[in-house]
Amino acid sequence: MGTPKPQKVVHMILSLSVFTLGFLFLFPLTALAQIGTTHAAGGGLNIFELYQQMGLLAKAVFWVLVAMSVWSFYVAISRYVLLHQARSQSMQFIKVARPLLDKNRIQELIKITKRFSKSHMARIYSRVCYELTTNIELHKSEESDLTVDQMASILNRAVYGETQVVTAELKKNLSGLATIGATAPFVGLFGTVIGVINAFTGIADAGAGGIGAVSAGIAEALIETAVGLFVAIPAVWLFNYFINKVGHFTAEMEGNGSDLVDYFLRKGMRI
């Protein structure tokens, strides 16, 4: 299966962002606007009047939710681009690395890895080759030999260490998606509570009850609830998607790193 072209990737990201942001805000707001317009014909409030009549705290909650949504899409786009670059450069790197390994040109391979700075596989190859050459040269100068088990232990630790570092870089800011997915409904609920409080405060000020007295406050509260839910759902989906992708990258680094170590051990660690 071929790697998508960068133009197609950007188009997919922008399409997803526009569609989801529109779904997040325009759908619930349009529905409420229709309700508000119907009410306005009989002296009710429309959606713009509802927003204007929100208290300062309720408006702050609304824009906090908008900011959380924007941040979640920023993280998603940045991670998608990074993973795409890592995959693309790794495929290119492997094509270059295999002939160099077959010809035992390890030093040249180490230099080549610098051209593929986004490649997760280049990072693993670079670290393993560096540890191999450094330890062999060190023990040659000391006129001592490393056993196969000692070298295997050194190289496997290098694979593990570099895998952990690269995995942490790939997961950067993903915890923010998890936090948004977990907290956005509660932020929306907080806004809902504020709206309900405003509704009952209005009743107390007017000295009258009934659905007409509380409808504006309830509508305001429902806006906060809807936005909170629609911010949380994509964030949770995106978090699970990227965690799964990073997991595949981690397994790939561990597997290919182990294969590289076995390759050097079978060759007798010749440089």
Q: Which residue has the tokens 């409904």?
A: 185
> Which one has a higher pLDDT value, 110 or 32?
110
Q: How far apart are CA 65 and CA 190, in angstroms?
A: 11
Pair 220, 173: CB distance under 8 Å: no
Taking CB atoms within 8 Å and a gap of at least 24, the contacts of 36-45 are 36/219, 39/215, 44/215, 45/215, 45/216, 45/219
> Which one has a higher pLDDT value, 4 or 235?
235
Neighbours of 180 (CB within 10 A): 24
Q: What is the pLDDT of residues 89-127, one digit of tens each?
A: 999 999 998 888 888 888 888 888 888 989 999 999 999
Q: What is the pLDDT of residues 107-117, one digit of tens each?
A: 888 888 888 98
Mean pLDDT calculated for residue range 77-92: 93
Length of the chain: 271
Residue 33: pLDDT band (50, 70, 90) is very low
Give the range among 51-65, 213-227, 231-245, 257-271 with minimum mean pLDDT. Answer: 213-227
DSSP string, 86-101: HHHHHHHHHHHHHHHH
Q: How far apart are CA 176 and CA 232, in angstroms?
A: 12
- Domain ranges in the chain are 6-266
